[in-house]
Amino acid sequence: MASVKVAVRVRPFNQREKDMGAKLIVQMDGKKTRLLTVKNSKEQNEGGREKYKDFTFDHSYWSYDSDDKHYASQEQVFSDLGLDVIDSAFEGYNACVFAYGQTGSGKTFTMMGSSENQGLIPRICRQLFSRVAAGKESGASYRTEVSYLEIYNERVKDLLGGSGGAGSGGGSSHSLRVREHPQHGPYVQDLSKHLVSDYDDIQECMQRGNQQRTTASTAMNDVSSRSHAIFTVRFVQASYLRHNNMPSETASKVHLVDLAGSERADATGATGQRLVEGAHINKSLVTLGSVISALAECALPHDGRTPKSGKKVFIPYRDSVLTWLLKDSLGGNSKTIMIAAISPADCNYGETLSTLRYANRAKKHHQQAHHQRGPQRQAHPRAARRDRQVARADRASHRPYRDGARRSCHAAA
Ligand SMILES: Nc1ncnc2c1ncn2[C@@H]1O[C@H](COP(=O)(O)OP(=O)(O)OP(=O)(O)O)[C@@H](O)[C@H]1O
């Protein structure tokens, strides 16, 4: 992977957390996020004396209190992360932005936001079209298409397929097939693509798609997204090269992903259908983590297969529909941005720690990718062992059916 940025964002207390008198256990200072260890947590039970855990990311966004002078607004998140995505698209690179975190931690708020407080997706789209307008004035021409799909229980639904857009054929069920094109890689057969010419067009697609998403009320969130949603913007720009007046065309693809919550069954009080959903959600999130971690082992990111040691690294893209469809923007020259959304409350300590560890793994990938361009470095065997331990802990913390003894907001409420 050529470039990965990892950010973490903490939201305000929700009503449930306030009602139960939750304590604030997250602190941020610059790029650093500190998680205070909670009494009765595994670390304390095992006799560890650690009072906190520190993590450093590209950005640590403090959105706990809107009156605080350090409050990170939607605008700030966009200017740090969204503008990068637009630059990449105009340079012809693919990009992928995804929000990861437990249910109710603020993923949808960060990615989509509300009509008064728009998130990254609408802001990126708006900015894209203002750059297009400027480019048109200097003679370039553009073609922008969007598609919007949802992955629910490993099945794909076209969120824009219902009301007859161009090429619409998906209908409203989760029945689309994922196939592989010999040159262009994985794609969804019969997914509708919609030509958009301005921000209003794209907004209409977003709104229509959002209404089709599968949500449910869980103990952690009244309107919980139970699926992964991928909003894809395909962007082609055509212009004439200045020095020889030859026509040139660049194509890029931006995937904007709102992941389903990384919840565990014990934390959300899930049974029946919710439990099945949870198992699928967890499997694909674990696979996403494994893909990112496997990419980290590759010494040559441009082919994504040859590690430093010379032995082939298997990247398990195919293990979930999510990673399979994001393949073209999780490796190669693409730009990937991960936003880890966390709760500020002590009752969510376990989930928050697991989210921060997950984000930390992606960050290691990022650091390695940069090292690869510079002088060769040998990984210290102890560091490699520690990485494997963290990866194991990470996988364990995402098992859906654990009989967790940890206190959760739900259990305590
Ligand atoms: N940074 C923030 N500032 C203010 N409110 C926020 C923030 N982040 C989240 N919230 C609020 O918290 C609630 C839950 O957020 P959201 O729906 O984005 O969670 P989610 O992680 O997408 O959950 P799920 O995975 O269940 O869909 C919402 O009411 C949202 O408005």
Tens digit of pLDDT for each residue in 55-79?
Answer: 999 999 999 999 999 999 999 999 9
Average pLDDT rounded to a whole number, residues 243-257 = 84
The residue whose CA has the least distance to atom 7 of ligand 1 is 11
Question: pLDDT value at position 385?
Answer: 52
The residue ranking higher by pLDDT, 310 or 326, is 326
Asked which of 217-221, 225-229, 373-377 is least confident by mean pLDDT, the reply is 373-377
Measured from the Cα of 261, ligand 1's closest atom is 25
**What is the percentage of the chain residues whose pLDDT exceeds 90?**
41
Enclosing H/E stretch for 232: strand 228-240
- Distance, in Å, from the CA atom of 69 to the CA atom of 80, rounded to the nearest integer, reads 18
Average pLDDT, the chain: 78
Question: pLDDT value at position 370?
Answer: 45
- Strand locations in 137-214 (E): 141-152, 155-158, 178-181, 185-188, 194-196
Q: Which DSSP state fits 140?
A: -
Ligand 1 midpoint to CA 139 (Å)? 42
Ligand 1 midpoint to CA 197 (Å)? 30
| pLDDT-derived band at 391, boundaries 50, 70, 90 | very low
**What is the percentage of the chain residues whose pLDDT exceeds 70?**
70
Question: pLDDT value at position 410?
Answer: 37
Q: Are 159 and 229 in contact (CB under 8 A)?
A: yes
pTM here is 0.79
Question: pLDDT value at position 99?
Answer: 92
Question: pLDDT value at position 394?
Answer: 43
The residue whose CA has the least distance to atom 14 of ligand 1 is 104
Pairing mode of beta strands 215-216, 224-225 = antiparallel
Ligand 1 binding pocket includes 278 (Cβ within 6 Å): no
Measured from the Cα of 263, ligand 1's closest atom is 25
Measured from the Cα of 259, ligand 1's closest atom is 25
Asked which of 126-135, 176-185, 300-309 is least confident by mean pLDDT, the reply is 300-309
Average pLDDT rounded to a whole number, residues 83-101 = 91
- Cα–Cα distances (Å) from 281 to 52, 80, 123, in that order, read 29, 29, 27
Enclosing H/E stretch for 388: helix 381-397
Asked which of 4-13, 18-27, 167-176 is least confident by mean pLDDT, the reply is 167-176
Greatest mean pLDDT range, 6-10, 95-99, 382-386: 6-10
Ligand 1 binding pocket includes 161 (Cβ within 6 Å): no
Question: pLDDT value at position 220?
Answer: 52
The residue whose CA has the least distance to atom 11 of ligand 1 is 106
Ligand 1 binding pocket includes 107 (Cβ within 6 Å): yes
Average pLDDT rounded to a whole number, residues 376-394 = 44
Question: pLDDT value at position 44?
Answer: 60
Measured from the Cα of 215, ligand 1's closest atom is 27
Question: pLDDT value at position 22?
Answer: 94
Q: Which amino acid is at 56?
A: T
- Cα–Cα distances (Å) from 232 to 97, 124, 145, 155, in that order, read 10, 12, 8, 17
Tell me which residue of 178, 229, 198 sits closest to 129, measured CA to CA: 198
Question: pLDDT value at position 110?
Answer: 95
**What does the pLDDT look like over 197-207, one tens digit per residue?**
999 999 999 98
ipTM confidence: 0.98
Question: pLDDT value at position 389?
Answer: 53
Ligand 1 midpoint to CA 17 (Å)? 13
| pLDDT-derived band at 21, boundaries 50, 70, 90 | very high
pLDDT at 28 over 90: yes
The residue ranking higher by pLDDT, 94 or 3, is 94
